[in-house]
Structure 1
Amino acid sequence: MPRIALAVVASLAILVLALGAFPVGLLRGVVEQRLSSALRTQVAVGSITRDSLFSYTPVVAIRDVRIAQPTWAGTGDFVRLGSASLRVPVFALLFGTFRPDRVALDGARIVLVRDANGRANWKPDGPTSGKSDSTGPSLSDLTVTNTQIELRDAKRGLVVAGPLTVDAARGLRLSAKGSFLDTPATLDLSGGRITGIDPAAPYPFAAKLTSPALNMTAKGVMNGVLDTRHFKADITARAPTLKNIDRIIEAGLFGTQAVAVTGTIRHEGRDWYVDRIGGSIGRSRFTGVATVHKIDERTAIDARLHATQLDFDDLADAKGQAASQQRRAAIGPRVLPPTRINLAKLWKTDGTIRFSADRLLSKGGTVFRSLSGTISLDHKLLTVSNVVATLANGRMTGTARVDHRSGRPKLAVDLRLAGLTLEGLIGKPDIVGGQVRGHIVLSGQGDTVREALSHASGKAAIVATEGHVKRIVADVLGQNLSGAVVHAIERPSQQVPLRCLVANFKATNGVLVPHPLGIDTGSSVGRGAGRIVLEEERIDVTLAGTSKSRALLRIADPIRIGGTLSAPTVSVAGAGTTDKPTPGALLKVFGRSLGQALGITKTPPNIPIPPPATFGCASAVAEALR
């Protein structure tokens, strides 16, 4: 046994001595083969030598290295290197880790290429484990001389080239010129010196991209030398649109009006942390925090955004606004928004975003004052919950859901209105007033909100109770022409109670039908029939009424509501209604009504029969709000 032990010890000693004197020149073929296999391209190495006959930390010199571009990246070389010297700990190499601590490069030309699909020549084509290197940085000394870097990044739209130097006096410097999104651009990178330093010590860096399409800066500290996977930085960015910033950070953002942001970010392995962000997009002002976790091949976002003021028009760039104007010119103004709800591009994204806007802005004006809610996305199922939209009086609450897990996007909304008033909505308290509530439950399929609602089924109901209405308006509703004339002359400001207004529409494939539509005032009752077609946003509704008192002369025709949701029209006996009716219109109404009373004018057969003198307000209101 002692002899066996002695033989083992002797063998290990010989192995250790052999490692210290290993002829590295024998590795040239192995290096070429393994690099060629990893990069899937041709690699040639002129020579590999070491600086001493015996050392466990030899300095290895590699000369005349050529790495061709992969076939997909075009012709030419990926890397041409005059010489490189590396101090390599032999025992670390023995255990499968190649971690040189001192590196010197001279006479290099490196051409980095990435295509529009994100394929990069500096990344392996095969799948990666996605695990972070936990052993930390090891580089204590780096010198780079006579070196040129060229970047051709089609996905980012960035093409720049310039000299790279790393020395003891100035540290790391890269000054490159070229273009970003077809505009002149410069890219400047700088870092601390890498000469006799602790590889794990904080390493300062700065980056600046200057272009008419984007001005972006980052200044911070890496956790170790050139540890781009672990750092913290303060950032600033200005661009004509958020989409230009997204070309750099690649977060799937969209086109907007001009944007200016500042913030603080952290990168930990595969995860990103936005500790602070704030700025403006057009007229909108916002702040927020966010985390972005990479889990296998998926991205999970958790964010909180707060806007002191928000204009939804800011969330489209000039191109998007022009397209919207073209659609409006082609189909006319629409109320239903063309917001896209197709989630096909978000199939790898999950997360939760809590948002709030203190003040909503709109060039055309808006009844909404503020907005808040929570957006959740889970495998192409998007839910907007806890929605609260306040108006000048009252608010809208509820949820909305987009399910794109299979087939076309399916939109479902469940919204309630409460605390509103008719006088607040219409703006004419001397004419009508009352407490307003509503319940909207609709579901449909389509790539946009407009398309989905244009084929939606469900219900849309609004009710008003405990109100008042001008007596003349109630007379017109009850088709009581004689009463309207008397009250217009004797008591023009008189009001009567509005017991209820119930507009409960049943939706089937985008067509809304009253179920029912009724109005009960202190002097009249009205019932409605007709339909609203959401695809064209066309209104075709008739209101027929009866007076609760004897009418000496009835209005011949019922009230007709037509036009579109964006521009409704109202007519009585074929005469349009305005704030100040013309004498001609009044004479027309009087003439048709008198003619019908005398039997001269026949009533068209399609006019509904006048409704009964009562309307079940309590049951109709309860059914509408259920």
Structure 2
Amino acid sequence: MTTPSDPTPPSAHRPQRWRRPALAIGAALLVAIGVVVLALGAFPVGLLRGVVENRVSAALHTKVEIGSVTRDGLFSYTPVVALRDVRIAQPAWAGQGDFVRVSTVRVRVPMLALLTGRFRPDRVAIDGARIAFVRDASGRANWQPDGAKSKQGGTSRPSLSDLSVTNTQIVLRDAKRQLIVAGPLTVDATQGLRLSAKGSFRETPATLALTGGRIAGIDPTAPYPFAVKLSSSALDFSAQGTAQGVLDTRHFTATIRAQAPTLKNLDYLIEAGLFGTQPIDLNGTIRHDVRDWYVDRLAGTIGRSRFAGRATVHKYGIRTAIDARIHASQFDFDDLADSQGRAESAARLARIGPRVIPPTRIDLSKLWKTDGTIRFAADRLLSKDGTVFQSLSGTLNLDNRRLTVSDVVATLANGRMTCTLRVDHRSGLPKLAIDMRLAGLRLERLVGKPDMLGGEVRGHIVLSGQGETVRDALAHGSGKAAIVATQGHVQRMIADVLGQSLSGAIAHAIGGPSDTVPLQCLVADFRGTNGVLVPRPLEIDTGSSVGRGAGRIVLDGERIDLTLAGTTKSRALLRITDPIRIGGTLSEPSIAVAGIGAKDKPSAGGVLKVLGRSIGQALGLTKTDPSAGGAAPQSFACAPAVAAALR
């Protein structure tokens, strides 16, 4: 019960009861914060020596020693910390010696950032250092412990505004690149960054020079100029460009120039999986953005080939995606082999003879991480031995060890070829599938006997097989290979031999050896199983005779064993006992007519050599050659046979 002498209710005294403790707690917190702030400004960094040694040792898997850690002044939130007598031993696999040995390193340290784990120095001074970078042949590097790769993110920005390096030696022993160099590195406020190293590249004397802008009181995110040059007889490479920030190797643009005896030497430097070629002279403009590369322009020569192009290379996890366009004003496939490759090719040619089917490797096992599309075009094709091909274009697509080369168009001296090629190497041996069409080719070029026959040819080839090269795959391939001709000419004497008319052959060999008759229809439709092609059918219709073929073509070795025999459309007084024989190889076919050797030119004397055998057969004194292919029809349906062959 309240009284007039105590008008305030009891609840009004409660806030006053807690006010003094709250003020005391707040004051204590402020004092604590003040103490922490003061302690932070005067933090005894020497206590961190053991922590730094242990953490760096654990990260690099090697022994780390620091002689002392001190700071300038007694109080600062951004003190300059000095580390003296720093030694980082080489990992065990890298051999004896030190990875890093430094007399003194001075670093300006934002203490709050250091304690929160976001330490990024803005001022560094190094004096009396020796740094030995080592990488073995497998790619293991002492500066990338456990094969660690750069992070995919690229949001961090450079923070270094001041850097000085004095009395410092850099050593690089890179077994994978076959590059060994050593030399002094300096960074000062007047000349900027300078590295001048000497050594060897691919066992040839080499020099490596690296220059950059000054790093003294600069904006660390401002464009930073740099230049690098590697000079040796194995490779002369230079790059000059601008990074997006000081020493930012993850974001830069540069113009490049490379000259070397082979493209493989450039690959030792850039490690892009390139191959041996004829001498190169390349120039271009490139950009690097974290893990992605952009080749905005690339032009130059490889041997006699001249080309220009552009490409992008994106990284997605462990996979690489390539998108490129290449245009060559002139191109020689022989330029895609170095001297060793050419010597091996010459030795193989001497051992097995010329071949039509190329030994191109189709093994995609090393490309399992690579996808992409390359569009290519060559205006003019070159070959030291001459070639019927004039230009080539197409699109190459690679997707998880499945290669498709589509929209291939090759123009020839007469005609053109279109093709789609597929390779599937997801399991087992590479599986090759080819679908090729020919139009406008000349028959005389295919058989190599322009004085015997000629005409325009169309064709359709569908073959598939397994092997590490195109040649190996087709040596065991199955499918079809067909050519047809519906107009042309045949030497009349050859038509008489095809019709097995001895009287006609003798008359035309003596009176008109160069006379011709029309080639009305030729159908050579071969069906293949396990590398052996057999004709189904092989038929020819001339103005004076009809013939049919038998035999086979063996793709393993490209051997031809065919016979052509037939009947004349007019009455033959005496029939020839011998058929036309086609032998040799696909690259060097041979034709024997009326029993005359393939290297002999048909003549009246040659035809008379078989007169005795033919008369003997007519009198029943000799047997009919079983390889003649059986009796030929008087004619055959050309149109449906052509349609079936080209299907």
- Normalising by structure 2, we get a TM-score of 0.93
Check the 8 A contact 1:477/1:526 in 2, yes or no: yes
CA distance in 1 between partners of 2:376 and 2:294 (Å): 18
CA distance in 1 between partners of 2:339 and 2:559 (Å): 30
Check the 8 A contact 1:60/1:88 in 2, yes or no: yes
In structure 2, the CA distance between the partners of 1:494 and 1:209, relative to structure 1 (3 Å rule), is same
CA RMSD of aligned residues (A): 1.8
Paired AA for residue 625 in structure 2: P
In structure 2, the CA distance between the partners of 1:370 and 1:126, relative to structure 1 (3 Å rule), is closer
Q: Does 1:473 align with 2:494?
A: yes
Secondary structure at 1:323's aligned position in 2?
Answer: helix
Paired AA for residue 152 in structure 2: K
- Which among 424, 430, 450 is matched to residue 471 of structure 2? 450
Secondary structure at 1:55's aligned position in 2?
Answer: coil
Question: Partner residue of 2:252?
Answer: 231
- More displaced, 337-346 or 321-330? 321-330
CA distance in 2 between partners of 1:444 and 1:416 (Å): 18
- Which among 445, 457, 463 is matched to residue 436 of structure 1? 457
Question: Partner residue of 2:344?
Answer: 323
Check the 8 A contact 2:310/2:324 in 1, yes or no: yes
Check the 8 A contact 1:220/1:234 in 2, yes or no: yes
Instruction: State the Cα distance separating 1:499 from its structure 2 match.
Output: 2.2
Q: Does 1:287 align with 2:308?
A: yes
In structure 2, the CA distance between the partners of 1:482 and 1:8, relative to structure 1 (3 Å rule), is farther
Paired AA for residue 306 in structure 2: R
Instruction: State the Cα distance separating 1:12 from its structure 2 match.
Output: 3.2
Check the 8 A contact 1:480/1:553 in 2, yes or no: yes
In structure 2, the CA distance between the partners of 1:573 and 1:489, relative to structure 1 (3 Å rule), is closer
- Which among 62, 83, 106 is matched to residue 85 of structure 1? 106
Secondary structure at 1:166's aligned position in 2?
Answer: strand
Q: Does 1:499 align with 2:488?
A: no
Paired AA for residue 136 in structure 1: R
Check the 8 A contact 1:576/1:585 in 2, yes or no: no
CA distance in 1 between partners of 2:628 and 2:510 (Å): 29
Q: Which is higher, the Rg of structure 1 or of structure 2?
A: 2
Aligned pairs for 1:326-475 (under 5 A) are 326-422=347-443, 432-475=453-496
- Which among 627, 630, 634 is matched to residue 609 of structure 1? 630
CA distance in 1 between partners of 2:65 and 2:240 (Å): 38
Paired AA for residue 378 in structure 2: A
Instruction: State the Cα distance separating 1:620 from its structure 2 match.
Output: 1.1
Question: Partner residue of 1:313?
Answer: 334
Question: Partner residue of 1:221?
Answer: 242
In structure 2, the CA distance between the partners of 1:4 and 1:401, relative to structure 1 (3 Å rule), is farther
Secondary structure at 1:263's aligned position in 2?
Answer: strand
CA distance in 1 between partners of 2:88 and 2:643 (Å): 77
CA distance in 1 between partners of 2:457 and 2:594 (Å): 29
Check the 8 A contact 2:578/2:594 in 1, yes or no: yes
CA distance in 2 between partners of 1:336 and 1:26 (Å): 74
In structure 2, the CA distance between the partners of 1:542 and 1:196, relative to structure 1 (3 Å rule), is same
The alignment covers a number of residue pairs equal to 626
In structure 2, the CA distance between the partners of 1:26 and 1:608, relative to structure 1 (3 Å rule), is same
Check the 8 A contact 1:392/1:424 in 2, yes or no: no
- Which among 42, 45, 57 is matched to residue 21 of structure 1? 42
CA distance in 2 between partners of 1:244 and 1:123 (Å): 24
Aligned pairs for 1:534-573 (under 5 A) are 534-573=555-594
CA distance in 1 between partners of 2:337 and 2:555 (Å): 25
In structure 2, the CA distance between the partners of 1:435 and 1:583, relative to structure 1 (3 Å rule), is closer
Check the 8 A contact 2:510/2:604 in 1, yes or no: no
In structure 2, the CA distance between the partners of 1:549 and 1:574, relative to structure 1 (3 Å rule), is same
CA distance in 2 between partners of 1:57 and 1:585 (Å): 105
Question: Partner residue of 2:5?
Answer: none
In structure 2, the CA distance between the partners of 1:480 and 1:53, relative to structure 1 (3 Å rule), is same
Instruction: State the Cα distance separating 1:3 from its structure 2 match.
Output: 5.0
- More displaced, 432-441 or 406-415? 432-441
CA distance in 2 between partners of 1:533 and 1:425 (Å): 17
Q: List alignment gaps of at least 5 residues for structure 1.
A: none
Question: Partner residue of 1:149?
Answer: 170
Instruction: State the Cα distance separating 1:430 from its structure 2 match.
Output: 7.0
Check the 8 A contact 2:295/2:312 in 1, yes or no: yes
Q: Does 1:112 align with 2:122?
A: no
CA distance in 2 between partners of 1:126 and 1:236 (Å): 30
Paired AA for residue 358 in structure 2: P
Secondary structure at 1:164's aligned position in 2?
Answer: strand
CA distance in 2 between partners of 1:497 and 1:424 (Å): 18
CA distance in 2 between partners of 1:174 and 1:522 (Å): 82
Question: Partner residue of 1:624?
Answer: 645
Per-residue CA deviations over 1:271-296 (Å, capped at 9, x if unaligned) read 11111111111111111101111111
Question: Partner residue of 2:271?
Answer: 250
Question: Partner residue of 1:195?
Answer: 216
CA distance in 2 between partners of 1:234 and 1:3 (Å): 68
- More displaced, 439-448 or 593-602? 593-602
Check the 8 A contact 1:130/1:296 in 2, yes or no: no
Instruction: State the Cα distance separating 1:200 from its structure 2 match.
Output: 0.8
CA distance in 2 between partners of 1:397 and 1:606 (Å): 36
Secondary structure at 2:140's aligned position in 1?
Answer: coil
Instruction: State the Cα distance separating 1:427 from its structure 2 match.
Output: 7.9
Secondary structure at 1:576's aligned position in 2?
Answer: coil
Question: Partner residue of 1:50?
Answer: 71
Check the 8 A contact 1:397/1:415 in 2, yes or no: yes
CA distance in 2 between partners of 1:348 and 1:556 (Å): 63
Instruction: State the Cα distance separating 1:190 from its structure 2 match.
Output: 0.7
Paired AA for residue 77 in structure 1: D
Per-residue CA deviations over 1:331-355 (Å, capped at 9, x if unaligned) read 2222211111111111111111100
CA distance in 2 between partners of 1:92 and 1:153 (Å): 35
Paired AA for residue 299 in structure 1: T
Per-residue CA deviations over 1:311-335 (Å, capped at 9, x if unaligned) read 1111001111111122222222222
CA distance in 2 between partners of 1:433 and 1:564 (Å): 19
Question: Partner residue of 2:296?
Answer: 275
Per-residue CA deviations over 1:58-91 (Å, capped at 9, x if unaligned) read 1110000000000111111100000000112223
Instruction: State the Cα distance separating 1:56 from its structure 2 match.
Output: 1.4
Question: Partner residue of 1:38?
Answer: 59
Instruction: State the Cα distance separating 1:386 from its structure 2 match.
Output: 0.6
CA distance in 2 between partners of 1:139 and 1:538 (Å): 71
CA distance in 1 between partners of 2:493 and 2:326 (Å): 50
Paired AA for residue 585 in structure 1: G
Check the 8 A contact 1:438/1:462 in 2, yes or no: yes
- Which among 310, 325, 329 is matched to residue 304 of structure 1? 325
Instruction: State the Cα distance separating 1:489 from its structure 2 match.
Output: 4.5
Check the 8 A contact 2:527/2:534 in 1, yes or no: yes
